[in-house]
């Protein structure tokens, strides 16, 4: 079994921590000071503010959130997001959502520092905010539900190292500084390369601004300046899509190895056509399910999530395992037509269960 196959993991978290349902809407506890005591309500509105609209990752998360809302029966989900991953676009959306007085907000903040004040304003207005995927450098949020991005970056490094035979130059196409998730993926990647692979030279990262075209352009420039480049890590869907497009356009697929985070439809096509060697699929549907479940629990009982940092799983996708139903179920969707409630779970961050076993 190759290292990549051994790395391929699917942490079955179902048995570890079932996000609990505090059944019985009549079960009234007092909400923490500042939030409306909502437990006497029959139904609730949750606003979901995505990191960006039109991204298969957040679309899949929305499907999970909707499936959970439907199964709980008393949640209305209202989804929106900015057209670009940009705090100056997301902040007015958040402010407008707060004006509609939802019972809670789940959101993927566009910037770990820049979104603290707008989220604080929402909380001050009495609306609890739970962070999904990305987070803020603060603990004002009700909870965080996300992938273990640091470990995901390390897995990407190990996968790429295996693909290039443990030696050569590697380069990272990242998104924008200040995004908690992708910053952590790069940090995990760098950490593993520097500490585990002495014969690999890390050339550093460049930012494609969450734009596949910009990511393709900077990758093309890098292929020119470093013609002996051995491997590339694209830290999210659009970075990976762009980097793969550059490899394809220059006929370098297979020659320069590539690992991408996420598992959008174009990325899957790139994996199948051997432009990309490995994908790290997050479980966005699970994040959506768990987030709605936690908010429902909070709104009906007043008890905040404890612990408040939760992680869902990730799955390494290769050409060998992509058609295995246990892997294929984590490929991102374009709409919710085929999405089925998974009964997802999450585990406390930094717990032994949270670290995927290679
Ligand atoms: O990788 C995901 C998400 O985790 C990240 O925070 C931003 O980019 C994506 O949405 C993929 O485009």
Query: Quick one: 273 and 213 in the same domain?
Result: yes
Query: Quick one: 252 and 297 in the same domain?
Result: no
* Domain range enclosing 41: 18-146+283-312
- Residue 244 has phi, psi (to 5 degrees) of -65, -40
Q: What distance in Å separates the CA atoms of residue 74 and residue 45, rounded to the nearest whole number?
A: 9
For tokens 């035979």, the residue is: 165
Nearest ligand 1 atom to the CA of 239 is 12
* Number of structural domains found in the chain: 2
For 264, residues 6+ apart whose C-beta sits below 8 A from its C-beta are 55, 56, 57, 237, 241, 332
Residue 355 lies in a domain: no
- Residue 4 has phi, psi (to 5 degrees) of -60, -40
Q: Tell how far the Cα of 198 is from the centroid of ligand 1, in angstroms.
A: 30
Predicted pLDDT of residue 36: 58
Q: What distance in Å separates the CA atoms of residue 301 and residue 25, rounded to the nearest whole number?
A: 8
Ligand 1: residue of 84, 133, 179, 282 to mutate (most ligand atoms within 8 A of CB) is 133
Please indicate whether residue 197, judged by its CB atom, sits closer than 6 Å to ligand 1: no
Residue 323 lies in a domain: no
Q: What distance in Å separates the CA atoms of residue 269 and residue 127, rounded to the nearest whole number?
A: 41
Predicted pLDDT of residue 73: 97
Predicted pLDDT of residue 293: 97
Q: What is the mean pLDDT of each run of 10 residues along the chain (358 residues)?
A: 36 28 24 52 96 98 98 98 98 98 98 98 98 98 98 98 98 98 98 98 98 98 98 98 98 97 98 98 98 97 95 97 97 96 90 58
**Closest residue to atom 5 of ligand 1, CA basis:** 181
């Amino acid at each position: 079994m190759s290292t990549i196959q051994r790395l391929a993991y699917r942490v079955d978290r179902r048995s570890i921590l079932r996000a609990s349902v505090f059944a019985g809407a009549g079960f009234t506890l007092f909400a923490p000071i500042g939030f409306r005591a909502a437990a006497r309500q029959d139904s609730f509105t949750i606003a979901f503010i995505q990191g960006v609209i039109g991204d298969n990752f957040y679309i899949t998360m929305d499907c999970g959130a909707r499936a959970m809302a439907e199964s709980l029966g008393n949640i209305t989900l209202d989804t929106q997001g900015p057209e670009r991953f940009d705090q100056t676009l997301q902040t007015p959306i958040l402010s407008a959502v707060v004006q509609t007085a939802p019972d809670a907000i789940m959101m993927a903040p566009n910037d770990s520092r820049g979104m603290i004040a707008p989220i604080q304003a929402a909380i001050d207005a009495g609306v609890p905010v739970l962070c999904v995927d990305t987070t803020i450098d603060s603990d004002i949020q009700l909870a965080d539900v996300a992938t273990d991005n640091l470990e995901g970056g390390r897995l990407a490094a190990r996968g790429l190292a295996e693909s290039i035979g443990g030696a050569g130059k590697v380069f990272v196409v990242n998104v924008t500084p200040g995004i908690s998730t992708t910053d952590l993926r790069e940090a995990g990647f760098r950490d593993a390369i520097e500490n585990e692979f002495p014969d690999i030279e890390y050339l550093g990262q460049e930012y494609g601004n969450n734009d596949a075209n910009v990511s393709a352009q900077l990758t093309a420039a890098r292929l020119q300046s470093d013609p002996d480049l051995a491997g590339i890590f694209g830290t999210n869907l659009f970075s990976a899509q762009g980097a793969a497009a550059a490899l394809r356009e220059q006929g370098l697929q297979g020659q320069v190895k590539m690992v991408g985070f996420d598992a959008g439809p174009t990325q899957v096509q790139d994996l199948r056509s051997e432009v990309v060697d490995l994908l790290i699929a997050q479980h966005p549907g699970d994040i959506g399910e768990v987030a709605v479940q936690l908010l429902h629990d909070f709104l009906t009982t007043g008890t905040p999530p404890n612990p408040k940092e939760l992680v869902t799983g990730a799955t390494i996708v290769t050409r060998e395992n992509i058609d295995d139903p246990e892997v294929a179920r984590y490929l991102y969707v374009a709409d919710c037509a085929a999405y089925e409630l998974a009964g997802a779970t999450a585990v406390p961050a930094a717990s032994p269960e949270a670290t995927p076993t290679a």
